[in-house]
Structure 1
Amino acid sequence: MSDFAIGLCGIGAMFVLMILRMPVGMAMLAVGYFGTVILNGTRSANALLLTETFSSASNYSLTVIPLFVLMGNIASAAGFSSRLYEAAFAWVGWLRGGLASASIVGCAAFSAVSGSSVATAVTIGRVALPEMKRFGYSDALSTGAVAAGGTLGFLIPPSTGFVIYAILTEESIGQLFMAGILPGLLLTAFFMGAIAFVTLRNPGAGPRGEFVPFEERFKALLRAMPLLLVIVVSIGGIYLGIFTPVEAAGVGAGMVALMAGISGNMNREQAVKAVSDTVRTTAMLYLIIIGASVLNPFLALTELPATLGETMTAAGFGPYGLLFLIVLAYLALGMFMDGLAMLVVTIPIFFPIVTAAGFDPIWFGVIAVIVIEMGMITPPVGLNVFVVKSVAEDVSMGTIFRGVLPFWFAMAACLLVIVVFPQIALLIPQAMFR
């Protein structure tokens, strides 16, 4: 059997292990280790396992993950996230479909302290869904808005997707964070446009909320100001070159913890839960990164990425034809794979093809993250749909998937705009490092 055939068998085995419910990181690690045993022997495989595990776990840049995750968990436990939704509700809740738009804005704001789509969907969903039910919103629109809004946690910095992409491609985490800002705001606007479209066709799906006087609006904004200040300090500090991403994460986590302590909004039990949730999430992400670090050298030995790249290039599709094929592959994988799993499995294969085609690696990182976001609300897996289902237990899966459909098309439209106008993603990073 050729090395290339062994590589294909390894990828197939990895998918089988995932279907059998093996954790993604362990599936990649097992395939990478035993594949290397077959190709280079046990001694080489053992050395690879030891060195890659140590180098991944001791990577200073990865410190950004537990710090930003901790920041989001503390903000949620202390109730700061609900203040973001209340402020958004005060400003846009009186519009038709306004509560759904407030959910989108709340998700966008919380994404800037969370970095996780699941955490964003759960946190805002718990606050927003009961309010939308109280005002008579359709189950499809309310759950669809929360599920789609949650995906912003994977795009708006600090994004765990960008951190892992940066580690896999050796690109700058800071530049990727900055690249996600304008696309994140654009996608937020597209989501709100989707809500306007749905409520225009069916006004009963999203009736207007109560009108809030301007004085109360500013009071709500003032209550949310401490967390907004954390967002401005951490993200603005990266842009101005005051902080590295790791330092910004540390400053942000410290500020949120200090505010929670001073306000008294978080008791000891909540603090312990926030820390334990952070440890679990971090362990899961580190296992995925370690698994990818062991899998990638095996794939390199089989020359699978290089061979696939040469085959796609020789097919004569052109740069944008190759990009279209890659997007289609992501959409197909998104039907049954977790977003992070897609990222770590595909980037080692697609990244050389993309760079050889002349595309900017920072720009492609944004494209990859948006397409993976689309997978988070695509059936039959649609991770964010299952997350929202856990919050809205009385709503059927079919209703939620029907509700996310307008938002899926909004994401596709946003993706097309960023492909046609790449400067939307590149403007801030280029200005930052000019």
Structure 2
Amino acid sequence: MTLFLCLILMLVLIIIKVPVAFAIFFSGAVGILLGNSLEMLLFVVGYSVPSAVNSYTLAAIPLFIFMAQLVLSSGVLDELFDAARVLSGKIRGGTGIAAIGAGSLFAAVSGSSTAAAATLASTSSSYMMEQGYSPRLSTGMVAVVGTLAAMVPPSILLVFYAITAEISVGKMLVAGFVPGALVSLALVSVLFLYAFLSPAQIPGGESYTWKQKAHKLKALWPIAILFSIVVGTIYLGLATPTEAAALGCFGGFMLSVANRKMNVNVLIKCLKETLSSSVMILFIIVGAHIFGHLLVESRATVTLINWIEGLGVEPIMVILILAVFYIALGFFMDQIAIIALTVPVTVPLIMSLGYDPVWFGVLIILLAEVGLVTPPLGLNVFVVSRVTGVPVEEVFKGVLPFIAAMLSVAALVILLPDLILFLPNTM
């Protein structure tokens, strides 16, 4: 009963816009206080704060955030989009394909869905509308492309899930590569479908010579090299995720210097953004540890596993129910908070059913991406709307066919787990 009341309290706090970290912390603390005593609460808080953040692996999160800020400061996305647009040539929908391609490459080194969406909106969305794409399509597509940063390594969400689930961060990062590529291909497929069914919304691209295309290829090399340094060293076992993140920071700094974007003010801004995001994530982790203590005391995980086993339903039905549950949570909660609160309960459950936690992590992060572009929160939608000036309701309408594409990939992930696991299993 205490756990139920605390969950209601947490949801109420989130609905009235109390920061998620404080909502988790406060509701967990109230639960411990109600079930035990003030002395126990002080002990748990005193123990949880240092133990929650005292982890070498956890250092990868602020390092990846710092790398993302450095890459953003380099202005590399403008070059990526321009290069992808030239390479796609006069194909109908070529500019849209370029936006998806540039967004996918940018996601590989940014790690921030919201930042990727904002940057894409200010470049590719505006250009697409100038070329004759409908505002609904161009903004909706960009809002969804921005979510790829949650999946394509080195994603902060992948690292956070791995730490929360107590599994290999390296395997989790590598596991995100295939689903990230599948989502990109699914988005391109939707664009081609648009071109077939409603060609008026999808103008043709411009024609470029092979010499022009070859010249633009050089814009892709910096990102390709940085991605290879970060993910390649993890995959080959040459560096831990934390070490790879540090190498990525150095690479991002050099990229910004090479593009003549780096100065003291830019560096200070990158450090401030990194500090702000890192403190928020770390405080969520602390709050989740305190709430996790309440979960352990209430034996919620054991009770849930025993209840599921007693139902006698097929494991795939449990996975489908959890998938709907995660999509629904994404409508109202931040993705990091969803992982922090649910993974300690759901991962033991799916492991008891014989599923791999790496595969499950890919699935729930893919479903969490849907929450970034669906009402009422839909953070990426609001960001794109603010940057482009297109009404929020139009952007929400524009994301609908692309959400269907993401859910199709999620269904494929459920049906073919080996599609996700074969790459990390080769490490």
| TM norm. shorter chain > 0.5 | yes
**Given the alignment of the two structures, is residue 163 of structure 1 paired with residue 159 of structure 2, yes or no?**
yes
Report what 1:413 is aligned to. 408
Q: 1:21-420 maps to which residues of 2 (within 5 A)?
A: 21-92=17-88, 94-393=90-389, 395-420=390-415
Q: Deviations over 1:210-232 (max 9, x none)?
A: 12222222222202312221111
CA distance in 2, matches of 1:238, 1:191: 28
Q: TM-score, normalised by structure 1?
A: 0.95
Q: Deviations over 1:47-99 (max 9, x none)?
A: 21122111222211111111111111111112122222222222225322222
Task: For 1:83, give the aligned amino acid.
Answer: E
Report what 2:420 is aligned to. 425
Task: For 2:342, give the aligned amino acid.
Answer: T
Q: Deviations over 1:155-181 (max 9, x none)?
A: 111111111111211011100001100
CA distance in 1, matches of 2:192, 2:276: 38
Q: Given that residues 154 and 230 in structure 2 are in contact (C-alpha distance below 8 angstroms), is that contact kept between their aligned partners in structure 1? A: no
Task: For 1:430, give the aligned amino acid.
Answer: N
CA distance in 1, matches of 2:400, 2:258: 43
Alignment CA distance shift 1:147-1:263 (3 Å): closer
Q: What secondary structure sits across from 2:178 in the alignment?
A: helix
CA distance in 2, matches of 1:251, 1:297: 36
Q: What secondary structure sits across from 1:243 in the alignment?
A: coil
Q: Given that residues 66 and 282 in structure 1 are in contact (C-alpha distance below 8 angstroms), is that contact kept between their aligned partners in structure 2? A: yes
Task: For 1:349, give the aligned amino acid.
Answer: V
CA distance in 2, matches of 1:143, 1:262: 31
CA distance in 2, matches of 1:312, 1:205: 48
CA distance in 2, matches of 1:212, 1:53: 57
After superposing the two structures, state which structure 1 stretch, 320-329 or 276-285, moved more: 276-285
Q: Given that residues 116 and 160 in structure 1 are in contact (C-alpha distance below 8 angstroms), is that contact kept between their aligned partners in structure 2? A: yes
After superposing the two structures, state which structure 1 stretch, 171-180 or 29-38, moved more: 29-38
Q: TM-score, normalised by structure 2?
A: 0.97
CA distance in 2, matches of 1:237, 1:329: 35
Q: What secondary structure sits across from 1:380 in the alignment?
A: coil
Q: Given that residues 104 and 188 in structure 1 are in contact (C-alpha distance below 8 angstroms), is that contact kept between their aligned partners in structure 2? A: yes
Q: What secondary structure sits across from 1:54 in the alignment?
A: helix
Q: Deviations over 1:291-350 (max 9, x none)?
A: 111111111111223223322332222100000110111122222222222222221221
Q: Given that residues 164 and 289 in structure 1 are in contact (C-alpha distance below 8 angstroms), is that contact kept between their aligned partners in structure 2? A: no
Task: For 1:404, give the aligned amino acid.
Answer: V
Q: Given that residues 85 and 106 in structure 1 are in contact (C-alpha distance below 8 angstroms), is that contact kept between their aligned partners in structure 2? A: yes
Alignment CA distance shift 1:227-1:207 (3 Å): same
Q: Given that residues 3 and 295 in structure 2 are in contact (C-alpha distance below 8 angstroms), is that contact kept between their aligned partners in structure 1? A: yes
CA distance in 2, matches of 1:22, 1:150: 26
Q: What secondary structure sits across from 1:94 in the alignment?
A: coil
Q: Given that residues 164 and 339 in structure 2 are in contact (C-alpha distance below 8 angstroms), is that contact kept between their aligned partners in structure 1? A: no
Q: What secondary structure sits across from 1:69 in the alignment?
A: helix
Q: What secondary structure sits across from 1:207 in the alignment?
A: coil
CA distance in 1, matches of 2:212, 2:121: 23
CA distance in 1, matches of 2:307, 2:118: 42
After superposing the two structures, state which structure 1 stretch, 401-410 or 203-212, moved more: 203-212
After superposing the two structures, state which structure 1 stretch, 177-186 or 280-289, moved more: 280-289
Q: Given that residues 92 and 195 in structure 2 are in contact (C-alpha distance below 8 angstroms), is that contact kept between their aligned partners in structure 1? A: yes
CA distance in 2, matches of 1:427, 1:87: 32
**Aligned sequence identity (%):** 33
Q: Given that residues 97 and 205 in structure 1 are in contact (C-alpha distance below 8 angstroms), is that contact kept between their aligned partners in structure 2? A: no
After superposing the two structures, state which structure 1 stretch, 306-315 or 290-299, moved more: 306-315
Give structure 2 stretches of 5+ with no counterpart.
none
CA distance in 1, matches of 2:88, 2:334: 33
CA distance in 1, matches of 2:174, 2:384: 28
Give structure 1 stretches of 5+ with no counterpart.
none
Q: What secondary structure sits across from 1:212 in the alignment?
A: coil
How far is 1:34 from its partner? 2.0
CA distance in 1, matches of 2:412, 2:111: 24
Q: Given that residues 338 and 383 in structure 1 are in contact (C-alpha distance below 8 angstroms), is that contact kept between their aligned partners in structure 2? A: no
